[in-house]
Amino acid sequence: MRLFLIILLIPLYSWTQNFQEAIHLFESKKLEAAKSVFKKISEDNANYIKAQEYLGDIAAYQKKWDVSLGYYKKLLDIDNNNAVYNYKYGGVLAYKAQSVNKLKALTLVSDIKKHLHKAAELDNQHIEVRWALVEVYISLPGIVGGSEKKAKKYANELMHISPVDGYLALGYVAEYNDKPQIAEENYKKAIELGGSLHTYDKLSGLYEKTNQPKKAISNYEKASEKHKRNHLNYQIGKVCAQYNMYLDKGLICLNEYIKNHSPKDGVPISWANYRIAQIYRYKKDKRNAYNFIEKALREKPDLEPALKEKKMILLME
């Protein structure tokens, strides 16, 4: 009898193992391999529904909007009152709307709102769907249902769930509507409350957009003191190079970035070498400027800003 039970459980163990393997592949960003495993999970398997959700997620990551919507629609047919399914369906519809012509996008607005609103109603603690509603209402023209008032409504709902997200959302709304002082106040409150790297990045990004490089550099430096992330070296060096200021500081930061670079830093070394070349051009050091722009172009021959920079360097006396 015991042997019979063991034999009976072998397929179940095998499918569970395959499902966990697929999740690991998905989390490792090996999406095609994960997709292949998830697709093999049959309808009579306990993990089938979750596998369908992962397949929808993979298609969304790959920007295959209609494929993703097909999976999420299947899940909604099974459970129409699931907040996550409604959020994902509405969210992917919103992404699809950004990729099609304006006339087609307008036909999607009603369904986008319908599913996002339903997700928010079903889960009063769902942060992501409220962020999505903030973005939808602030980005849509008023004639098709855009509304700063409604965007603020969902930002304030976020404030009750997660004050940091609330301040970030209010900052985002203000920034979108060209109210930089109000945006700055809210981003600073988010930093005071949470102090995550993301909160610092939002404030520094605002300073860069509003042509306040000294404030951007100062804020990146504060973030660096707290978080010790290498990518902040690039951000400081980039601003120094863009605005022709604190050039020695920019060189130190960019060289530090290259020295400690890893793929998780995001920005390729070619961009750092391009920024170093830019700084040397400002310092009227043609030899170093040329050497570093050549490094940048060896790493990425089609880097357009570097190609333009090389032309300026060659014109130096």
pLDDT score at 227: 95
Task: Give the chain's mean pLDDT.
Answer: 91
Cα 264 from Cα 75, distance rounded (Å):
34
Is pLDDT of 296 > 70?
Answer: yes
Per DSSP, the residues of the chain read -HHHHHHHHHHHHHHHHHHHHHHHHHHTT-HHHHHHHHHT--TTSTTHHHHHHHHHHHHHHTT-HHHHHHHHHHHHHH-TT-HHHHHHHHHHHHHHHHHS-HHHHHHHHHHHHHHHHHHHHH-TT-HHHHHHHHHHHHHS-GGGT--HHHHHHHHHHHHHH-HHHHHHHHHHHHHHTT-HHHHHHHHHHHHHHT--HHHHHHHHHHHHHTT-HHHHHHHHHHHHHHH--THHHHHHHHHHHHHT-SHHHHHHHHHHHHHT--GGG-S-HHHHHHHHHHHHHHTT-HHHHHHHHHHHHHH-TT-HHHHHHHHHHHT--
Query: What pLDDT does residue 13 have?
Result: 40
Q: Do domains 22-123 and 236-317 have the same CATH topology?
A: yes
pLDDT tens for each residue of 239-264: 999 999 999 999 999 999 999 999 89
**What CATH homologous superfamily does 236-317 map to?**
Tetratricopeptide repeat domain (1.25.40.10)
Contacts of residue 182, defined as CB under 8 A and 6 or more positions apart, other chains included, come to 170, 171, 174
Domain 22-123, CATH: 1.25.40.10
Residue 281 clears pLDDT 60, i.e. is over it: yes
For the chain, the structural domain boundaries read 22-123, 236-317
The per-residue pLDDT for range 38-67, each reduced to its tens digit, is: 888 888 888 889 999 999 999 999 999 999
Predicted structure pTM score: 0.84
Portion of the chain with pLDDT greater than 90, in percent = 75
Q: Which two tokens stand for residue 235?
A: 């951000």
Measure the CA–CA gap between 260 and 239, rounded to whole angstroms: 19
Model pLDDT, residue 15: 43
